[in-house]
Amino acid sequence: MKRIFAANWKLNKTPEQAREFLIQFKNEIFKISHFFDTREVFIFPQAYSFEAVSTLCAGTSIEFGPQNIYSQSSGAFTGENSAAMAKDLGAKMALIGHSERREIFKESDQVLNQKALHVESLQMTSVFCIGETLQQRESHQTLPICFSQLDQGLAGVSREKRIVVAYEPVWAIGTGKVATTQQVAEVHQAIYDKLEARGFKDFQILYGGSVKPENAAELFKVPHVDGFLIGGASLDVASFLKICLA
């Protein structure tokens, strides 16, 4: 199975900065033979930089998708993002349920489920994020929370189609506090067992939360860590590339 390196640029990178990143990144990976034989790269740019990313990724193996979508393709939904329009620009996937969407924008499990079903209806892949807050971890709610987010968020989603789940402990995002390999191992194993028991046939599980060049190799030793969802460290070509090569 190929390892996945997903860059979540959040509300960063102008179209020009996105172009600069990709020109430099492509230059670097073209020097590395068989780079994509063992890796997949996903880029999640901000909406206004989407077309720049689409143009620069055309004809390459770099995939990309929106950070957030609405559960309908078009209509009177001022301010929303269309997955169908992103698909038109070449997107094959969409990020759904990032903790910043859940917390800051109050997206519920039901809303996220509609988004996941919509993405599936467009023959696109969801990169579906789950994870507990510090308070939930401290009150031993980590697994129940993750399971409930999975069960509700993926209700009715096809077991036959590919799904990517990103486990991101909320307390590890952007804080520099990475989960220990033991914590990651416990949750990834539990998610793996859960998805398998639910009948999902084609799934990968990413870890996210302060992934850096310094900790990537260690995290990769953990069973069922199939790749990373990377925020801060994906903004810089050198650090993103180092993680890809970890």
Min dist CB 66 to ligand PGA, Å, is 14
Q: Does residue 168 bind ligand PGA (CB under 6 A)?
A: yes
The interface region with ligand PGA, picked from 54-62, 155-163, 194-202, 207-215 by CB under 6 A, is 207-215
Q: Does residue 120 bind ligand PGA (CB under 6 A)?
A: no
Q: Does residue 208 bind ligand PGA (CB under 6 A)?
A: yes
- Degrees (nearest 5) of the Cα angle 168, 174, 176? 100
CA distances from 217 to 37, 239, 246 (A): 18, 13, 5
Length of the chain equals 246
Binding mask 54-93 for ligand PGA (x = CB under 6 A): ----------------------------------------
Can 34 be counted among the known catalytic residues? no
What is the separation of C-alpha 225 from the centre of its chain, rounded to a whole number of angstroms? Answer: 13
Q: Does residue 97 bind ligand PGA (CB under 6 A)?
A: no
CA distances from 14 to 10, 142, 213 (A): 11, 36, 24
Looking from the CA of 43 toward its CB, the CA atoms found within 13 Å total 33
- By C-beta, is 174 or 223 nearer to ligand PGA? 174
- By C-beta, is 227 or 231 nearer to ligand PGA? 231
Could you give the CA distance from residue 84 to residue 246 in angstroms, rounded to a whole number? Answer: 34
Stretch (H or E) spanning 94: strand 93-96
**How many residues touch ligand PGA (CB under 6 A)?**
13
Q: Does residue 229 bind ligand PGA (CB under 6 A)?
A: yes
Q: Does residue 8 bind ligand PGA (CB under 6 A)?
A: yes
Q: Which of 98, 118, 188, 224 is catalytic?
A: 98
